[in-house]
């Protein structure tokens, strides 16, 4: 069977971990031919996070890839050809064709050639887990992930939406809602990873008969943790990962910086913690925020940035060496839960609150609109006083999720093979 995995974001460490799980499970279920469509294929040339299997990596259908070191002229060309042209012309044409339910003759002119060839050769297309179907990323829904899902359906290929968060939606264009509805109703199966997604799907009038609940993909990497020392016996290290989205205004940015700096000051000065900050973006999108936080910290020598590019397994095991973890980026939170490192989760979306509720750890989660230094420090103290109990709970529940998600993935592949 020839499988095409789409929607992979090469530079996001969480998305790389998801792909590690997906590839490993495809191999375990006897799939020998796999093509991965990724945002920047060059970031996979060394394949540090690939299981031992034959994988071809190609661009997205809406190809936004760009060489790492490109000239100014190259950047201008990239902005016009791969961003603006696709957003203003290619995406609306594909959207309208999907809504009309007919593949247009000019589709090959709108889609990356390698991607279209891979779609046409594929027996099955899997959208790698994550948060793709939403207006949080773009109010117009004009994203490469949604574009590529639509192309797969226009080519008549069976599409599996694997371990997704769906919504929320605040549609800015009248054509956006029917497009999302077409994708959801056209998918062979939809696996959702949180309760809120089911409600969002129902709001769109899509039947739930092909919708199943499954854990987040990275819970399927429970077995990669090499040492499960209890938190109290680990080095006195607090891990931190931040998220820079939705903080474009200076007051919001400054509040965020001050809040995290105050927490770090408290952990260092009151409890003697060392602090390791884990970037989650390979291209460095979160580094300016990390640097600004450290500038505000009083004892900067107590802070360390995890440099370089640790692969998925190394990254999770590094978090497993922390005594406590503060995470805002979704997959940094999942890494911490998998590692049984007591987690203080900052939620920018309901999915995080849902994940924490699955562990009975609602009291260890705060919505980012409620974020303040006082609340964060108070929550940190509660967690720091109950490290053993929280770590044990995380480990017990993650081990069960590990079994379930592997069973669900196998069921997805088996049901497709049985239908063919």
pLDDT of residue 337: 97
Containing H/E element for 316?
helix 312-319
Quickly count: other Cβ atoms within 10 Å of residue 21's Cβ.
25
Quickly count: other Cβ atoms within 10 Å of residue 108's Cβ.
12
Quickly count: other Cβ atoms within 10 Å of residue 27's Cβ.
16
pLDDT of residue 52: 78
- Could you give the C-alpha distances from 226 to 44, 80, 359, in angstroms and in order? 24, 46, 22
CA angle 35/6/67 to nearest 5° reads: 80
pLDDT of residue 283: 81
> In angstroms, rounded to a whole number, what is the distance separating the alpha carbons of residues 150 and 146?
6
Sorted by where each starts, the structural domains of the chain and their CATH numbers stand as 2-214 (3.40.50.11720), 223-399 (3.40.50.2000)
- DSSP letter (8 states) at residue 303: E
Token reading at 260:
């995290």
- How much is the pTM? 0.92
Beta strands 237-241; 211-213: pairing state: unpaired
pLDDT of residue 387: 97
- Could you give the C-alpha distances from 87 to 105, 189, 346, 386, in angstroms and in order? 20, 28, 32, 49
Q: Which residues contact 69 (CB under 8 A, 6 or more apart)?
A: none
CA angle 167/171/177 to nearest 5° reads: 80
For each successive 10 residues of the chain (420 residues), what is the average pLDDT?
A: 96 94 96 93 82 88 66 56 78 97 96 96 96 87 95 98 95 94 98 94 96 96 95 97 76 92 98 96 88 95 89 95 96 96 93 92 94 96 97 97 98 92
Positive or negative CA dihedral for 175, 177, 180, 183? negative
């Amino acid at each position: 069977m020839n499988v095409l995995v789409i929607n992979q974001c090469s530079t996001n460490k969480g998305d790389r971990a998801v792909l590690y799980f997906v590839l490993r499970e495809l191999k375990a279920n006897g799939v020998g031919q796999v093509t991965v469509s990724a945002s920047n294929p060059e970031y996979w040339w060394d394949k540090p996070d690939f299981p031992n299997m034959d994988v071809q990596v190609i661009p997205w259908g809406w190809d936004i890839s760009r060489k790492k070191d490109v000239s100014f002229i190259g950047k201008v060309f990239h902005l016009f050809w791969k961003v603006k042209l696709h957003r203003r012309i290619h995406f609306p044409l594909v959207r309208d064709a999907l809504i009309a339910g007919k593949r247009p003759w000019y589709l090959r002119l709108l889609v990356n050639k390698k991607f279209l060839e891979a779609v046409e050769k594929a027996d099955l297309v899997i959208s790698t887990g994550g948060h793709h179907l939403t207006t949080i990323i773009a109010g117009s829904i004009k994203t490469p992930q949604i574009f590529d899902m639509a192309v797969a359906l226009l080519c008549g290929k069976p599409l599996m939406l694997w371990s997704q968060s769906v919504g929320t939606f605040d549609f800015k264009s009248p054509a956006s809602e029917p497009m999302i509805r077409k994708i959801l109703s056209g998918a062979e199966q939809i696996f959702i990873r949180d309760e809120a997604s089911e409600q969002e799907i129902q709001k769109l009038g899509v039947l739930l008969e092909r919708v199943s609940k499954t854990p987040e993909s990275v819970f399927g990497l429970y077995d990669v943790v090499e040492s499960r020392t209890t938190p109290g016996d680990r080095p006195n290290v607090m891990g931190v990962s931040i998220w820079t989205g939705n903080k474009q205004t200076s007051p919001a940015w400054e509040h965020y910086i001050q809040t995290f700096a105050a927490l770090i000051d408290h952990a260092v000065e009151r409890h003697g913690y060392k602090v390791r900050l884990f970037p989650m973006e390979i291209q460095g999108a979160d580094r300016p925020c990390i640097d600004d936080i450290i500038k505000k910290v009083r004892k900067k020598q107590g802070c360390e940035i995890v440099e370089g590019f640790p692969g998925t397994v190394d990254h999770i095991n590094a978090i497993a060496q922390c005594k406590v973890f503060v995470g805002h980026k979704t997959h940094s939170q999942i890494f911490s839960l998998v590692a049984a490192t007591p987690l203080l989760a900052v939620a920018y979306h309901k999915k995080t609150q849902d994940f924490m509720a699955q562990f009975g750890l609602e009291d260890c989660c705060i919505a980012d609109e409620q974020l303040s230094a006082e609340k964060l420090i108070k929550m940190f103290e509660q967690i720091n006083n109950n490290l053993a109990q929280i770590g044990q709970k995380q480990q017990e529940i993650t081990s069960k999720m590990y079994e379930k998600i592997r069973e669900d993935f196998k069921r997805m592949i088996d049901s497709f093979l049985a239908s063919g």
